[in-house]
Amino acid sequence: MNLIALVGNLATNDTLQVVALGSVGLGLAGGVLGTFAVLRRQSLLGDAVSHAALPGIVLAFMLTGTKAPLVLVVGAAAAGWLATLAVLAITRHTRIKDDTALGVVLSVFFGFGLVLLTYLQRQPSAAKAGLDRFLFGQAAAMLRGDVVVIIAMGGAAIAVLVAFWKEFKLLAFDPDYAACLGYPVRILDVLLQSLIVAAIVIGLQAVGVVLMSALLVAPAAAARQWTDRLGVMAALAGLFGAGAGMLGAVISSTTEHLPAGPSIVLCASTIVVVSLLAAPNRGIIWQVLRHWRHQRRLGLEALLCDLLELATHHHDPEHGHSLSALAAMSGGRAGLKRRLRELHAKGLVRPVGAGRWTLTAAGRIEAARVAASHHPARHEDGCPT
Amino acid sequence: MTAENRVIPALQVEDLTVAYRDKPVLWDVDVSVPPGVLMAVVGPNGAGKTTLIKACLGLVRPAAGRVLIHGRPVEAQRRNIAYVPQRGSVDWDFPTTVLDVVTMGRYGALGWFRRPGAAERERARQCLEMVGMLGYERRQISQLSGGQQQRVFLARALVQDADLFFMDEPFQGVDATTERAIVALLQDLRASGRTVICVHHDLQTVPEYFDWVSLVNVRLVASGPVNEVFTPNHLRTTYGGRLPFLSQRADPKERAR
């Protein structure tokens, strides 16, 4: 796929613009609302809600006979909410834990949805076709009407989130404290959950029930890597979601037989992988690098201390110490020569004859400082070994 | 009736019973705490100390009984009550800063839709200074030590400008320096007429830190001034006779024998 051709297509192709706009909207809403789902450790609930929406969509169609976006979205939202209530009821009134309850609700609703879908496809009605696109999503089929619904609902959800920002932040961080300050935690909880359900259902047509929760979780997880501020995290997650949504949808629309859901989710996953690896501080690369630097510094300091200890035994600063003596002290020859070369480059040690080394004047001062900083109480012999 | 009894108690708990799934956690508890005292709530693990505090705050619904704060139900007194939850009750990896967490203490007074502004942040800074955490405002909360986390929670409660404080194990997992700093702070609060109620675990320090105590083990064993009710007998009743660490300080009569 040629990226330049893609951008060119986007500029000229009306259908593609509609698709791009719609997927930016649903990615944005999914990312921003997903931030709260992730921070409240409710990622799995999002998965249950999106799978559970399938029977809602099919039933809405069976009852009304139309495929108007608003009708299907309302059906999906109703079923998604019912699933949430079912999970809460199961965890509250039985001994079943929430992960099990989520699994049960998800599979029951999704299974029921598949049965309804299969039944519908056996019916000889012409209008039935197309509902199965809700499984894996089909961005290419997005129409203006769909985009209007996505933008209206997504925009409303984000607007409500911003209006209750301070309350939702408190709810996500410390719900008991929110209750103590007099906030109606139960109502706020229901409101936030409704916003998350809204963000999920508007994405179902393009991404599909199977993978929609990824668009909720992935951008937020990626955004968490880059920042320690809630506001920045939500904005970044929205940006990542919008980017992944648009890129994935456009790639899918211009490639034959590539469903939009998997394509969008792959784009989002790429962002996650890059963030997990490369984000400053939290990224794996940085952590490994920091660990490695630390190890190296400790190795050099230990060697300095070993040399200092040998020097105090000999009283003669000109006396060189053999590699074998140093290897015996530090427990091995591995990397010993490299460490000596590094210290030599820093002017802390110097060679005395063949293969023998001693501290320079600067080296003695540095070694004493290191020893003192590691064991301030023991001063003389306190070396990190 | 003496004059002292006519003062409206800061906290009045009447016939409080709380049950989780038919299992009573607190049974018929009556406590009356006069204003201006520093009270410890002590008792063994699972005695319902945290539940007692949560019931006072209206966080758990009692099966029976009622709680009055300065003579009125807790819902009418939200502005007057501050809460320091157990440190482990929140996710310290939450993406927010020290100043932000402390400012949360003003959210109740702010009410719906209003955002915290310069005045709230200034008040938060003052309270951070009171707990010795000035200079940490911009720190991400996951970078704090246990004692620092505890002090941030204290500052958040101070910001509320309340006159009744509920604290759930404020000394848990903090070092000796922080513990002394917190005690000094609590005593300052009492000196300014505030009432502080702490779940506390270290029996040794009860007489030194507190002037009022409630001994709880599902039922209330005793409640009152430390020098009257913090007795070996009451402790034995509370802890079921197993008290190998029965403090010498708390037990001058026993030591004399």
pLDDT score of B245: 53
For A179, name the nearest residue in chain B, comparing CA atoms only: B59
pLDDT score of B256: 42
- Return the domain boundaries, chain B: 3-256
Contact B91 A170 (CB under 8 A): no
pLDDT band at B242 (very low <50, low <70, confident <90, very high): low
Distance from B59 to chain A by nearest Cα, in Å? 7
CB B180 within 8 A of CB B132: no
pLDDT score of A55: 94
Contact B94 A224 (CB under 8 A): no
Residues of chain A with CATH 1.10.3470.10: 3-281
**Residue B102 pLDDT more than 90?**
yes
What is the distance in angstroms between the CA of the first residue and the CA of the last residue of chain B? 37
Contact A180 B140 (CB under 8 A): no
Residues of chain A with CATH 1.10.10.10: 286-374
| A window 340-379, beta carbon within 8 A of B | none
pLDDT score of B243: 60
Structural fold of domain B3-256: Rossmann fold (3.40.50)
Class of A286-374 per CATH?
Answer: mainly alpha
In a mutagenesis test of the B interface, which of A91, A161, A166 is the best target, namely the one with the most B β-carbons within 10 Å? Answer: A166
Q: One digit per residue, pLDDT tens: chain A, 385 residues?
A: 566 777 777 777 778 888 889 999 999 999 999 999 999 988 888 899 999 999 999 999 989 888 888 898 999 999 999 999 999 899 888 888 888 999 999 999 999 999 998 888 887 765 556 788 888 888 887 888 889 999 999 999 999 999 999 999 999 999 999 999 999 999 999 999 999 999 999 988 888 888 888 999 999 999 999 999 999 999 999 999 999 998 988 888 888 888 888 889 999 999 999 999 988 888 888 889 989 898 888 888 888 888 888 877 777 767 778 877 888 777 777 778 888 888 888 888 888 877 788 888 888 888 888 888 775 544 444 444 4
Contact A182 B59 (CB under 8 A): no
Contact B95 A172 (CB under 8 A): no
For B159, name the nearest residue in chain A, comparing CA atoms only: A181
pLDDT score of A1: 52
Note whether A181 contacts B: Cβ–Cβ < 8 A: yes
List of chain B residues whose C-beta atoms are within 8 Å of the C-beta of residue A237: none
pLDDT score of A381: 45
CB count within 10 Å of CB A96 equals 14
pLDDT score of A178: 93
pLDDT score of B5: 52
ipTM: 0.88
CB pairs under 8 A between A and B: 74
Q: Over range B152-172, report the average pLDDT.
A: 92
Least confident of A44-53, A363-372, B3-12, B186-195: B3-12
Q: Over range B94-110, report the average pLDDT.
A: 92
List of chain A residues whose C-beta atoms are within 8 Å of the C-beta of residue B160: 181
**Residue B22 pLDDT more than 80?**
no
The CATH superfamily assigned to A3-281 is ABC transporter involved in vitamin B12 uptake, BtuC (1.10.3470.10)
Note whether A173 contacts B: Cβ–Cβ < 8 A: yes
Distance from B109 to chain A by nearest Cα, in Å? 8
pLDDT score of A270: 94
pLDDT score of B98: 94
